[in-house]
Amino acid sequence: MLNKNIYLILIISLVFAISFWIGFNVNLLPIEASINAPIYDELFKILFIIGLIIFIGMTIAVIYSLFKFRKRNDQIGDGIALEGNLSLEILWTIIPSIIVLLIGLYSYNIYDRMGGMKELNHNHEMMRSNPEKIWAGISQTSDNEISNNNLSIEVSAMQFAFLFNYPKGNFISGELHVPVDQKVSMKMESKDVIHAFWVPEFRIKQDIIPGQPTILNFTPTKVGKYPIICAELCGPYHGGMRASIIVEEESDYNDWFNKNKKTEVNL
């Protein structure tokens, strides 16, 4: 009996050790290039480790049962007539409930840190003056905050392109240029069908919905060029609906902005 318990403890410890090692050493995600990304990756790591423990544990239990309890040629009888064990069943109801609840609370905390729980349009005065319904994306904010603090960009999505309007420069670009480490607020509108704005390196995604503008905030943290991908089926060329976001030093961004700001574009 003692030996059995030692083996069980050893196996459980091994499953935990393997899961933690994989969880901390195998990186399945693209590079982190926004403030949101490392927060998201914390959650991913926790989910990955817990998932591995459960998956490896269950797989071992099934495969072990198949080998250990397989019927030998000389056996003709049945297994033990065990129909249940109330305390065991209560245990494996309570433990997953606690795990799920803790994961839920933790992910709520992560979501809050990403800015997802901020109230949209909390300024009631502004709501009255703005009858247009704006749907909340992650890290949402009111129009007031957009204009006061952040780099404000308007995104138009259409089959099969993104267009980026810089209101302060009065120009439109097919590429999204933003300075590193500065908060960007985007108001997104669709001209036709549902699209989605996704930058995997930023870990953000927001649908762009016709008739219901959406807003999305992010703060890039790494200079580089990253893909913007439409993630919502939008027609035959959906796979080709891509653009680039170029995160650059503030001076480079200012050069690009000044070079483009006088350009008049008529839609």
Site for another protein in 18-57 (CB under 8 A): 28-30, 39-40, 43-44, 47, 50-51, 54-55
Q: Give the residue, chosen from 211, 251, 262, 266, that forms a contact with another protein under the rule CB under 8 A.
A: 211
Question: Judged by CB, which is closer to another protein: 183, or 203?
Answer: 203
Output the DSSP codes for 127-179: HHH--S--EE-TT---HHHHHHHSEEEEEEEETTEEEEEETTTTEEESSEEEE
User: How many Cβ atoms from other residues are within 10 Å of residue 71's Cβ?
Assistant: 10
Of the candidates 67, 58, 61, 57, the residue with the CA atom closest to the CA atom of residue 17: 57
Tell me the closest approach of the beta carbon of residue 112 to another protein, in angstroms.
Answer: 9
DSSP 8-class letter at 212: B
Tell me the closest approach of the beta carbon of residue 190 to another protein, in angstroms.
Answer: 8
Please, which residues have CB within 8 angstroms of residue 153's CB and are 6 or more apart in sequence? Answer: 164, 165, 166, 167, 176, 178, 184, 185, 186, 187
Tell me the closest approach of the beta carbon of residue 5 to another protein, in angstroms.
Answer: 16
If phi over 0 gives left and psi between -120 and 50 gives alpha, with beta otherwise, what is residue 115?
left
- Are the C-beta atoms of 214 and 206 separated by less than 8 Å? yes
Binding-residue total with another protein (CB under 8 A):
85
Q: Which stretch binds another protein (CB under 8 A): 148-156, 170-178, 227-235, 255-263?
A: 227-235
Q: Answer yes or no whether residue 142 interacts with another protein by CB under 8 A.
A: no
Q: Answer yes or no whether residue 59 interacts with another protein by CB under 8 A.
A: yes
Q: Give the residue, chosen from 74, 83, 132, 264, that forms a contact with another protein under the rule CB under 8 A.
A: 83
User: How many Cβ atoms from other residues are within 10 Å of residue 70's Cβ?
Assistant: 8
Residue with tokens 């930058």: 199
Q: Answer yes or no whether residue 13 interacts with another protein by CB under 8 A.
A: no
Q: Which stretch binds another protein (CB under 8 A): 16-24, 145-153, 170-178, 223-231?
A: 223-231
Question: Judged by CB, which is closer to another protein: 93, or 254?
Answer: 93
Q: Answer yes or no whether residue 169 interacts with another protein by CB under 8 A.
A: no
Q: Which stretch binds another protein (CB under 8 A): 122-130, 133-141, 148-156, 251-259?
A: 133-141
Tell me the closest approach of the beta carbon of residue 184 to another protein, in angstroms.
Answer: 17
